[in-house]
């Protein structure tokens, strides 16, 4: 990742088809389109690739999460359980609809710990939202069992994991809804964009209307359409969708390249005593966008991260100190800091994330280094990178 590394003639061709029509909006202007409906084309391609009945394109991954939650009837005061390691968009989407994010510990999958989820369920819990960070998944069978037992929705935030699978099923297709991001640094990109997928016809209908100001899209006169419920503007443009039309055709090639690069580096690091790897649940396959390793302790991880950077190995992330991806620095969430007053349901029910004990998450995040896998590397670059990383880590670990 990301897909922009391999932009080429395919993307330009699809964008030029839209530019040739002059119609950049996904709805209306039928007579001017010359048969070009890129958003519809990409939605159909997503349904085929993700093995689902319905897809709805929107303007971002954040929009996909927001629309998915709203489409399933999640609203004021409902609780959504999610992991401490995610991107801020996950809880932003929950707050945007007046619901309450409840963050719980991760385990060695770097995603939701089912035991922590079980302990956090209350009568107000409406959704469990596993976030497939860095291309791999949670223990989805265990989470689905919990959701079925308590009649809770399972919504997959697969924004970083397109192309991964669990027991043969594409990530995003296992829950009641799944969400993807197609922003500029994702495995496939639209520049900006996102999508939700589902097999539930009602959720699809809701998403279609909600993401376009509540328009019901009945008939061929946009000005005469009715509005069965309130909606907002989360539309994607035809230009963005056109890029995605080209990129999704290349997804399997991208995953294959990532897997080859990932495997080369993992093989080199597997021989380094003291380095272990993130657990991928049995039956799961990553999308190979990141290789996640654990060092013996936080001090060693910090030393290793610094040494890798000094050795010229870019793209190594120490998420434990990251502003965007780990709860430790989310003061704006902990203190409920907002430009305007938050809904009373949120203010009354937001957990005390500031005072909570997330030491179980700290145990894994403090020891983790996440290595970005790039599409644009050649074999010589990958081999050199793997060798250098192994040497650096061996040196750090031997020095203690």
Cis check: omega of the bond before 122, within 30 degrees of 0:
no
Two tokens at 262?
A: 């990932």
Q: Is 314 exposed, middle or buried (0-12, 13-18, 19+ CB in 10 A)?
A: exposed
The structure tokens 């061929």 sit at 220
The answer to whether 186 is a known catalytic residue is yes
Of the candidates 38, 186, 303, 328, the residue annotated as catalytic is: 186
Q: Give one DSSP letter per residue of 335-351, joined into a string.
A: TT--SSPPPHHHHHH--
Name the nearest CA neighbour of 55 among 254, 250, 252, 244.
Answer: 244
Coil, helix or strand at residue 197: strand
Long-range contacts of 177-181 (CB under 8 A, 24+ apart): 177/68, 177/71, 177/72, 177/153, 177/203, 178/50, 178/52, 179/61, 179/64, 179/65, 179/68, 179/155, 180/61, 180/64, 181/60, 181/61, 181/62, 181/64, 181/89
What are the backbone dihedrals phi and psi of residue 271, each rounded to the nearest 5 degrees, phi first?
-85, 0
Residues with catalytic roles:
186
């Amino acid at each position: 990742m990301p897909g922009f590394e391999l932009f080429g003639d395919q993307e330009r061709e699809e964008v030029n088809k839209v530019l040739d029509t002059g119609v950049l909006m996904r709805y209306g202007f039928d007579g001017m389109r010359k048969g070009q409906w890129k958003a519809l084309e990409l939605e159909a391609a997503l349904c085929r690739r993700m093995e689902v009945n319905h897809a709805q394109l929107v303007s971002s991954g954040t929009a996909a999460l927001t629309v998915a939650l709203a489409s399933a009837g999640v609203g004021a005061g409902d609780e959504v359980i999610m992991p401490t390691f995610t991107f801020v968009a996950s809880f932003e989407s929950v707050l945007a609809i007046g619901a309450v994010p409840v963050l719980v510990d991760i385990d060695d999958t770097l995603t939701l710990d089912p035991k922590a989820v079980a302990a956090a369920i209350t009568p107000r819990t409406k959704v469990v939202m596993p976030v497939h960070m860095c291309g791999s998944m949670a223990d989805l069978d265990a989470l689905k069992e919990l959701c079925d037992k308590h009649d809770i929705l399972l919504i997959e935030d697969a924004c970083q994991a397109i192309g991964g699978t669990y027991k043969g099923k594409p990530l995003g297709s296992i829950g009641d809804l799944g969400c993807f991001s197609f922003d500029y640094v994702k495995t496939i990109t639209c520049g900006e964009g996102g999508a939700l997928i589902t097999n539930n016809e009602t959720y699809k209908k809701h998403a279609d209307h909600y993401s376009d100001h509540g328009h019901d899209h009945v008939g061929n006169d946009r000005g005469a359409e009715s509005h069965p419920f309130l909606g907002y503007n989360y539309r994607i443009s035809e230009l963005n969708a056109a890029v995605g039309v080209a990129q999704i055709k290349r997804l399997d090639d991208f995953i294959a390249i990532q897997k080859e690069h990932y495997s080369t580096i993992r093989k080199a690091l597997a021989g380094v005593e003291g380095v272990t790897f993130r657990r991928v649940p049995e039956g799961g396959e990553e999308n190979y966008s990141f290789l996640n390793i654990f060092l013996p302790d936080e001090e060693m991880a910090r030393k290793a991260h610094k040494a890798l950077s000094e050795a010229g190995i870019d793209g190594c992330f120490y998420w434990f100190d990251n502003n965007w991806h780990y709860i430790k620095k989310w003061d704006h969430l902990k203190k409920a800091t907002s430009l305007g007053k938050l809904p009373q349901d949120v203010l009354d029910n937001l957990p005390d994330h500031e005072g909570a004990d997330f030491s179980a998450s700290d145990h894994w995040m403090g020891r983790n280094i996440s290595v970005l896998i790039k599409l644009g590397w050649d074999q010589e670059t990958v081999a050199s990178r793997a060798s250098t990383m192994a040497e650096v880590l061996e040196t750090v670990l031997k020095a203690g």
